Amino acid sequence: MKIALLEPIGITDELLNELAQPIRALGHEFVSYSQKTIDPAELAARSQGCEVVMIANTPYPAQVVQAATELKMLDVAFTGIDHVAMEACKEKGIVVCNAANYSNQTVAELVIVMTISLLRNMTAGNECVRSGGTSAGLMGSEICGKTVGIIGTGHIGLITAKLFLAFGAQVVAYSRRVNPEAEALGIEYTTLPELMERCDVISLHTPNNAATRGMISREMVNRMKKTALFINCARGPIVDNAALAEALNEERIAGAGIDVFDSEPPISPNDPLLHAKNTVLMPHVGFLSQEAMIRRAHIVFDNVMAYLRGEPQNVCKN
- Is 183 among the catalytic positions? no
Which is catalytic among the residues 284, 295, 309, 311? 284
Q: Which of 264, 298, 309, 311 is catalytic?
A: 264
Distance between CA 246 and CA 249 in Å, rounded?
A: 5
Q: Which residues of 39-49 are buried (b: 16+ CB within 10 A; e: fewer)?
A: eeeebbebbee
298 given a catalytic annotation: no
Phi-psi region of 179 (alpha: psi -120 to 50; beta: other; left: phi over 0): beta
C-alpha angle 19-23-28 in degrees, rounded to nearest 5: 145
Catalytic residue check, 24: no
Residue of 198, 235, 295, 296 marked catalytic: 235
Per the CB < 8 A criterion, the answer to whether 117 and 229 are in contact is no
Q: How many CB atoms lie within 10 A of CB 93?
A: 9
Which residues are known catalytic residues?
235, 264, 284
